[in-house]
Amino acid sequence: MSIVRLPRILAAATATVLGAGVLAGCSGSSDSAGASAAGPVSGGSLTFAVNQEPSCFDPHVSPADVTAVIQRSVYDSLVYQDSSGSFHPWLATSWNVSANGKVFTFQLRHDVQFTDRTTFNAQAVKTNFDSINAAATKSEYASALFGQYYLGTKVDGQYTVEVDFSRAFTPFLQAASTTYLGIASPKSLTQNASHLCAGGTYSVGSGPFVESARVPGQSVTFTRNPNYGWGPEGSGHSGPAYLSKYTIDFLPDDSTRVGSLTSSQVDAAVIPVTAVKSVEADTQLSYVAHESPGIVYGLQLNQARTPLSDERVRQAVLDASDVPSLVNAVYFGLYKPAWSPLSPSTPGGTYDSALVNSWGNDPTAAVSLLAQAGYTGVDSAGYRTKNGVQLTLHWIYIAESQTDERDTLGQALVAEFKKVGIDLERDVVTEGSYFTDIEKGDYDVLDLSWARGDADILRGFYHSASAAVQGSEDASNTRDPQVDAWLDQADGNVSLAQSAAYYQDVQRWTIQHAVVLPLYVTEYQLGVSKRIHGLQYDVSGGPEFYGAWVA
Amino acid sequence: MGPTTRFLLGRAAQAVLVLWGAATLSFIALQLLPGDPVSTLLGPMVTVTPQVRAQIVQDYQLDRPVLIQYADYLRRLLTGNLGTSYQQELPVRTVIGQQLVPTLQLAACAAVLGAVLAVVAALLTAGRPGPLRRLVEAAELLAVSTPTFWLGILLLTVFSFRWQLFPVAGAAGPDALVLPTVTLAVPMAGLLSQVLRSGLDAALEQPFTLAARARGLSTTAVRARHALRHALIPAITLGGWLFGGLLGGTVLVETVFARPGLGRVAVTAIDAKDMPVVLGVVLVSAAGFVVVNTAVDLLYAAVDPRLRGGRPRT
């Protein structure tokens, strides 16, 4: 997850110059888009710039969002999840879930070949799923998507495969649609086992593009797979991709990346929120944003430590916050304020819209809750005290995580909390101390967001069983049998509507018991040149290049 | 055995000591960084089962006592094995090898450009008060005090975003080398030129200058052939030191121009406590410094005849 970062002051100065770069870019370009009403054109190439280079390119190992975006066109999945969250056939032509919800049977396509000319079949699927869950693979995310209940995969004939779970596990279908569970050539998994993280020609799948070259620290290049004929249903076409080639550039510096985009040196780029206005104003570019599904950006409140072990103090935290005003002030209306830990764009009707405007912005209630909790004194600095001890909340964070103007939002929260007498301390720590502090529970507040196209992500955050798994998801230390039961039932053998109802129960509980202060719905923001057509987006907003063409 | 050979052998022995010291200090520093090595290696946004943690500990033998890890590391180093990156699962030799050429290219180009600019500026202005000298001096001060990343972004804004003379990023061709080279060379030139001019100023007041002029040499010849030699020694010392620094990579410039290079590799590796890579980069840059220092000492002798024959300065 590490990227090279500029020190904070430098980053601020960089952002200032960014504006200048954008202005210069706007006046410089010449060629005009919009001249193409004709259909897709085969051939041509494009360049897409991202802000981060993953340390490992193997989607079975790497947890990074960017890895999934990069490797999407190399690895096909069994099923395809479109941007609205519905599932379509891909490598599997159909699938069936047993009555008890424990067995998934997939009928596979017969005509699929990996780009190393080996054949795709049931055994290939089994090899992949077993490999993801093998300890030797050291998966940092893919295995967590289905591994806890995975019993094994059975080959039922050459093109029929059965995946067994120890309990009903509905989220598997969505998991199987992600790049993380993309199907690699089994030959590459054994022959390249020690090089899969290096990407490039070591990454071999059956996708519409071949990863033809990687220059570490710079770029990765994809060339068309001419034999491709198994595009996902619902993607509009099924033959080889239109682009003969495309490149992903790694441009970690925001101003460099935005400047490259506005001066037409790249055709599409991930852009920072600070550049949205200028990209929108640029006639050569389209601004494309998708609200990320999954867990919104917010503060997880640590119930395992005083003072937030007291529910009244946690509720005071929520009451003290006027989230919509703060978010609007910081992001000028670009981001939606969040009311639930789950993003409204999470598929399946799982979002609880009843939570909108249901809490917050009640400083009087906050003060009286704090008084009930025993914080009756006020010290010279204006902070509440209990038995002479100041009400202080420690928010630990790594400086580099505060992208997206989160620093500003954090400062605004500090000021907001001070009004009701809560001392919110933002403690910047090194990456090493961050993990040590989390392991020791040495924090009150952690800021997190986590994109995933399925409400099952709530399990990682609020199910007691996630305490055993390393990662910061469990930051609120929620241990509640009722929540566990809802989460277990939600991904068990129930109808979609019933499952959504359980997920809504969980969301309502997290707000009622104030274990999270949701702040804003994160977005995946892109600037895209108008010469690019046919770009599709996955459920998290990541671009898919299979159907893309250039005019 | 000639004095130069003896000198080089001595240097080689010193180099071994320097490399050992650098590796040991970095090893200790990484051990002192807070945080569990497995968690740090994995980074913040992961979901990892206890089995995978156990596998990582086992694969990289992180459960052994630190002293054993250290001894084992030195033993492997003696056989020329730098180990395997924890994070990228590639041999450290490959990880560094991929980045070495772009790093060397940039360092060499920046050093040459910086040196040329400095010599020209110093020769033009030494011993000649006037508006040109004041202008050059002001430019030097500006060059020295401008942060490199800022200069880089300014250059990009003008020459890449607006005029599109050079590509923004990468290391694809000579085009892509121009802006990063200028970015690194300008502050270097500013510093070197100040040092050179003050040396030249001093040399031009020496009696030998008058003698040379009396022999009928032109002012330019006096400056370039006689005074410059005197002024070069401190400039070479400083230049060698600056160049050695470039060999270890230049994080900010690499980031702004999205160039591959050792600096970014090192920072990423330090963040993740990727011990083999960090130590590998440290060894490479320490070796770079040793080579540059040796070259500098040999240059002293070439520049100053008084230092020839005897033991070169160390």
Structural domain boundaries in chain A: 12-291+524-550, 295-361+390-405+422-521
What is the pLDDT averaged over residues B211-226?
88
Of the candidates A220, A214, A221, A267, the one whose C-alpha atom is nearest the C-alpha of residue A244 is A221
3-state secondary structure of A217: coil
What is the pLDDT averaged over residues A535-539?
91
Q: A373 versus B83: which is more confidently predicted? A: A373
- Measuring CA to CA, how many Å separate B269 from each of A167, A202, A400, B282? 40, 22, 15, 11
Sign of the C-alpha dihedral, residues A342, A347, A351, A357? Answer: positive
B171 touches chain A (CB under 8 A): yes
What residues 178-237 of chain B have any CB closer than 8 A to a CB of chain A?
none
Residue A10 pLDDT: 39
Q: A-chain residues within 8 Å CB-CB of B171? A: 215, 218
Chain B residue with Cα closest to A220: B170
Residue A239 pLDDT: 92
* A21 token code pair: 């770069």
* Cβ pair A293, A347 in contact under 8 A: yes
B257 touches chain A (CB under 8 A): yes
Residue B309 pLDDT: 60
Q: How many Cβ atoms from other residues are within 10 Å of residue B61's Cβ? A: 10
Of the candidates A161, A208, A132, A14, the one whose C-alpha atom is nearest the C-alpha of residue B149 is A14
Q: B-chain residues within 8 Å CB-CB of A143? A: 49, 52
- Measuring CA to CA, how many Å separate B7 from each of B47, B155, B309, B312? 56, 43, 11, 8
Residues 6 or more apart in contact with residue A401 via CB below 8 angstroms: A447, B44
* B101 token code pair: 């050429």
Chain A residue with Cα closest to B103: A217
Is the predicted pLDDT of residue B77 greater than 90, yes or no?
no
A467 touches chain B (CB under 8 A): no
3-state secondary structure of A50: strand
Distance CA B247, CA B109 (A): 12
Distance CA A275, CA A18 (A): 8
What is the pLDDT averaged over residues B154-183?
86
Distance CA B194, CA A511 (A): 65
Please write the tens of the pLDDT for every residue from B14-23.
Answer: 889 999 999 8
Chain B residue with Cα closest to A451: B45
Q: A-chain residues within 8 Å CB-CB of B44? A: 1, 398, 401, 431, 434-435, 472
Q: B-chain residues within 8 Å CB-CB of A62? A: none
CATH number of A12-291+524-550: 3.40.190.10
Q: A-chain residues within 8 Å CB-CB of B49? A: 143-144, 147, 468-470
B259 touches chain A (CB under 8 A): yes
* Cβ pair A208, A241 in contact under 8 A: yes
B43 touches chain A (CB under 8 A): yes
Chain B residue with Cα closest to A24: B162
The structure tokens 């050291």 sit at A138
What residues 302-361 of chain A have any CB closer than 8 A to a CB of chain B?
none
> Is A217 close to B265, i.e. CB distance below 8 A?
yes
DSSP label at residue B116: H
Residue A343 pLDDT: 97
Is the predicted pLDDT of residue A434 greater than 90, yes or no?
no
A127 vs chain B: nearest CA distance in angstroms? 19
pLDDT confidence tier of residue A32, bands split at 50, 70 and 90: very low
A256 touches chain B (CB under 8 A): yes
> Is B88 close to A55, i.e. CB distance below 8 A?
yes
Q: What is the distance between the terminal CA atoms of chain B, rounded to a whole angstrom?
A: 19
Please write the tens of the pLDDT for every residue from A411-425.
Answer: 999 999 999 999 999
pLDDT confidence tier of residue B122, bands split at 50, 70 and 90: very high
Choosing among 2.30.40.10, 3.10.105.10, 3.30.70.120, 3.40.30.10, the CATH entry for A295-361+390-405+422-521 is 3.10.105.10
Q: A-chain residues within 8 Å CB-CB of B164? A: 28, 263, 265
Please write the tens of the pLDDT for every residue from A468-527.
Answer: 676 668 899 999 999 999 999 998 888 889 999 999 999 999 999 999 999 999 999 999
Chain A residue with Cα closest to B97: A216
* Cβ pair B35, B273 in contact under 8 A: yes
The beta-strand segments (E) located in A133-188 are 150-155, 160-165
Please write the tens of the pLDDT for every residue from A316-345.
Answer: 999 999 999 999 999 989 999 999 999 999
Residue A438 pLDDT: 86
> Is B35 close to A436, i.e. CB distance below 8 A?
yes
The structure tokens 């009640």 sit at A362
Of the candidates A159, A143, A175, A172, the one whose C-alpha atom is nearest the C-alpha of residue A58 is A143
What residues 427-466 of chain A have any CB closer than 8 A to a CB of chain B?
430-436, 439, 450, 460
Calculate what percentage of chain B has a pLDDT beyond 70. 96
- Measuring CA to CA, how many Å separate B252 from each of A81, A153, A363? 39, 48, 45
Sign of the C-alpha dihedral, residues A378, A384, A389, A392? Answer: negative
- Measuring CA to CA, how many Å separate B223 from each of B200, B205, B209? 8, 11, 9
> Is B260 close to A21, i.e. CB distance below 8 A?
no
* Cβ pair A311, A319 in contact under 8 A: no
Distance CA A193, CA A179 (A): 18
Residues 6 or more apart in contact with residue B314 via CB below 8 angstroms: B297
- Burial category of B264 from C-beta neighbours within 10 Å (exposed 0-12, middle 13-18, buried 19 and up): buried
**Out of A1, A10, A24, whose CB is closest to B45?**
A1
Alpha-carbon radius of gyration of chain B: 24
Distance CA B229, CA A176 (A): 71
pLDDT confidence tier of residue B44, bands split at 50, 70 and 90: confident
* A245 token code pair: 């080639």
Q: Which pairs count as long-range contacts for B262-269, CB under 8 Å and 24+ apart, including other chains?
A: B262/B96, B262/B99, B262/B100, B262/B103, B263/A4, B263/B103, B264/A4, B264/A217, B264/B99, B265/A217, B265/B95, B265/B96, B265/B99, B267/A2, B267/A4, B267/A5, B268/A2, B268/A3, B268/A4, B268/A55, B268/B87, B269/B85, B269/B87
| Mean pLDDT, rounded, of chain A | 90
**Out of A2, A135, A433, whose CB is closest to B55?**
A135
> Is A431 close to B43, i.e. CB distance below 8 A?
yes
Q: B-chain residues within 8 Å CB-CB of A401? A: 44
Task: List % helix, strand, coil for chain A (3-state, nearest 5).
Answer: 35, 25, 40
Residue A389 pLDDT: 94
**Out of A14, A219, A472, whose CB is closest to B153?**
A14
Is the predicted pLDDT of residue A120 greater than 60, yes or no?
yes
Q: A-chain residues within 8 Å CB-CB of B98? A: 215-217
B175 touches chain A (CB under 8 A): no
B153 touches chain A (CB under 8 A): yes
Residue A527 pLDDT: 97
